[in-house]
Amino acid sequence: MLFNNVFELVSSSWKLLNKSRKFYLISPIATRRSLSVQYGNSALLTAGAKSYINKCVSLCQPDRIHICDGSADESKLLQELMLKQGTITRLTKYTNCWLARTNPADVARVESKTFICTDRKDQAIPVTPNATAGALGNWISPADMEQAVKERFPKSMRGRTMYVIPFSMGPVGSQLSKIGIEVTDSPYVVESMKIMTRVGNQVLEKLQSNGDEFVKCLHSVGTPKDRKVAVPSWPCDPERTIILHKPDSNEILSYGSGYGGNSLLGKKCFALRIGSTIAKREGWLAEHMLILGITNPKGKKIYIAAAFPSACGKTNLAMMTPTLPGYNVECVGDDIAWMKFDSEGVLRAINPENGFFGVAPGTAMSTNPNAMNTIFSNTIFTNVASTSDGGVYWEGMEEPNINNVITTDWLGKLWSKQSGKPAAHQNSRFCTPAIQCPIIDPCWEDPQGVPISAILFGGRRPKGVPLVYEARNWSHGVFIGAAMRSEATAAAEHKGKVIMHDPFAMRPFFGYNFGDYLKHWLSMEKRGRVPKVFHVNWFRKSADGKFLWPGFGDNSRVLDWIFRRVHEEDCYVDSPIGYLPSEGALDITGLQQSVDLKELFNVPNDFWQQEVNEIEQYFKTQVGEFLPKEVFNELTELKKRVNKL
Ligand code: O2Y
Ligand code: MN
């Protein structure tokens, strides 16, 4: 048990006194300060849930407890509260839409303050003589984690309400789903979790029958040491922000930030970091992947999962409107896939989430009409600009009336295009229910999951990497995932245009040693029929810096080739890096711009020799002895083929 010394103060049983509609929780701490359960039905709590809440209470010492039921009435209550506190404003142009402005120091995930806690360092990350700190995650020892918790969480909820959010990742009751309980002092987190996950009494009921097994998620926005809260409507403690994961006990503790991936603990912390460790133990995969269904003109449908690093257009691809006639794309999820072989050996995937937490800038009718048609009801916007007619604005939005309204930027200052500054923060977001997506897949909540026929890896590669190529086999596919690189994302601290390694698009999200992760991926071949693997790159540029490929809906042309390869059509040629579309196999009929296919599919000798060297160096320095020999062999084979170019 974690933090015994803190928790042993607490009696393991609760005495609940029902006083009119109120329950009073009496514990050694609570005898000093009576603690009311001001909302929710504590009778539904399991013994495990009670015990966990009790520990959080004694550690954080909130004034009140609110057990979330997931209802609309509850949302109304919290919206009113957040309006009063100034955390949100109502966006009157739309239905049930809200704008939150954060403390400007709390605007994104913070990778450098995100840790995996294991007994040994090499259980969390590959330990090598020259590893770059943080390259494949950060490790913290149990003692240091305990210290970090002791320095931050005690009394962190004094004067505040502790919200208890029972949530399901995946449809409630699916064999592929998992339950979590997030305890937080942020009503914004509650309302966002109610969009991003399935929250409420049905989850507590499920918990009664699933052996009381849940991921423990404790979150506090915290208070700075000097107690000076810079932005009272958005309390946080950026200096001491820390996000801790303990895979051994399925625990997450997050302090100091109210933002996105740091605070909506179902997402990156649970569904990816803790999720990947559970998946390893149980023999399945928790991945940073969108899931889409694509139907061809003959009415045949397949599902594809695709991993791209943050801010590479996953949401756009997941909701794509194909330009290729007769094709139809439907969205299962835009960020995370949990995939497991069924008893027939078919790899089945669910989207564990219930909403989209998408990047606003760049989202427009021209780039993603389906997202635009999703987000203007029941949505929480964060750090976008607002307009005097009760609307929102961000860069790239194509708002025709933007000159007729007064615009306020994400910092709350009057804004005009002439200011030269962005109106919305580059990592501003919409948090919106997936069910509202006009092309949500009819099977998106199928408890069995959808069958996956192809896995795509990709990234922003301005040079050298063709539009699409296919892996020769599974271990080659695993190598391609391991060797993924992309221009750096804007979501984290890494800014500027560097081509960063981002294996499997999981670099910030591995819950355990990347070398063991690779072994786990390789082992999937023994468990069932593995899908074909492809690498795509929509972002190759010509010598004069222009994109060679139009992207967006025209990516359906690439999906068409992948579709045909899944059905074993002989439409490929061999190349040193994998299989490329054969001459004429990529359908470019009706393309609105001319494309230089030769340049788009060129595999330059010098580029690939450098690439192979770079990958070798990366594996050597960052993965070292943990690299599986199969992956090393794939590198060696690629090297040989490239050197023959
Ligand atoms: O910066 C954040 O907290 C959000 S990060 C995020 C949000 C939605 C989907 N993906 C990501 C990501 O960083 O991959
Ligand atoms: Mn993501």
Map tokens 């404790």 to a residue.
218
Atom of ligand 1 nearest to the CA of 427: 1
Mutate to test the pocket of ligand 1, among 102, 106, 109 (most ligand atoms within 8 A of CB): 109
**Widest distance between CA atoms in the chain:** 82
Q: What share of the chain is helix, strand, coil (3-state, %, to 5)?
A: 30, 25, 45
Beta bridge partners of residue 376, listed in sequence order: none
Ligand 1 centre distance from Cα of residue 432 (Å): 14
Ligand 2 centre distance from Cα of residue 54 (Å): 33
Q: Which ligand is nearest to the CA of 109?
A: 1
Q: What residues does ligand 1 touch, defined as CB less than 6 Å away? A: 108-109, 259-262, 310, 335, 357, 427, 491
Dihedral angle computed from the Cα positions of residues 616, 621, 625 and 628, in that order, rounded to the nearest 10 degrees: -40
pLDDT for residue 34: 66
Catalytic, out of 56, 236, 312, 571: 312
Pick the residue whose CA is nearest to atom 11 on ligand 1: 310
Q: What angle do CA 135, 138, 143 make, to 5 degrees?
A: 160
Pick the residue whose CA is nearest to atom 5 on ligand 1: 261
Beta bridge partners of residue 489, listed in sequence order: none
User: Which amino acid, residue 335?
Assistant: D
Pick the residue whose CA is nearest to atom 8 on ligand 1: 357
Ligand 1 centre distance from Cα of residue 310 (Å): 6
pLDDT for residue 310: 80
Atom of ligand 1 nearest to the CA of 356: 8
pLDDT for residue 496: 58
Q: Which ligand is nearest to the CA of 264?
A: 1
pTM of the model: 0.94
Q: Cβ(354)–Cβ(196) under 8 Å? A: yes
Query: For 222-277, how does the pLDDT look when each residue is reduced to its tens digit (9 = 90+)?
Result: 999 999 999 999 999 999 999 999 999 999 999 999 999 999 999 999 999 999 99
Structure-model confidence comparison of residues 477 and 313, the more confident one: 477
pLDDT for residue 35: 81
Ligand 2 centre distance from Cα of residue 502 (Å): 12
Rounded Cα distance between 387 and 404, Å, is 10
- Place 403 in a pLDDT band, splitting at 50, 70 and 90: confident
Q: What mean pLDDT comes out for the span 27-36? A: 54
Give the residue among 341, 267, 269, 252 at the shortest CA–CA distance from 56.
252
Is 312 in the active site?
yes
- Place 83 in a pLDDT band, splitting at 50, 70 and 90: very high
Rounded Cα distance between 635 and 642, Å, is 10
Give whichever of 1-15, 32-46, 275-289 has the largest mean pLDDT. 275-289
pLDDT for residue 223: 98
The residue count for the chain: 645
Q: Which ligand is nearest to the CA of 262?
A: 1
Ligand 2 centre distance from Cα of residue 33 (Å): 41
pLDDT for residue 488: 79
Strands 114-117 and 242-246, bridge-based pairing: parallel
Map tokens 């603690």 to a residue.
35
Token couple for 80: 């009113």
Rounded Cα distance between 360 and 397, Å, is 8
In the predicted structure, residue 10 carries a pLDDT above the cut 50: no
Q: What mean pLDDT comes out for the span 70-90? A: 98
DSSP 535: E
Strands 139-140 and 380-382, bridge-based pairing: unpaired
Query: For 93-145, how does the pLDDT look when each residue is reduced to its tens digit (9 = 90+)?
Result: 999 999 999 999 999 999 999 999 999 999 999 999 999 999 999 999 999 99
In the predicted structure, residue 5 carries a pLDDT above the cut 80: no
pLDDT for residue 16: 34
Q: Which ligand is nearest to the CA of 258?
A: 1
Atom of ligand 1 nearest to the CA of 261: 3
Q: Mention every residue, 6+ apart, whose C-beta is less than 8 A from residue 384.
A: 99, 360, 392, 393, 394, 410, 423, 424, 425, 428, 429, 430
Within 10 angstroms of residue 240's Cβ, the number of other Cβ atoms is 17
Mutate to test the pocket of ligand 1, among 429, 493, 494, 502 (most ligand atoms within 8 A of CB): 429
- Place 23 in a pLDDT band, splitting at 50, 70 and 90: very low
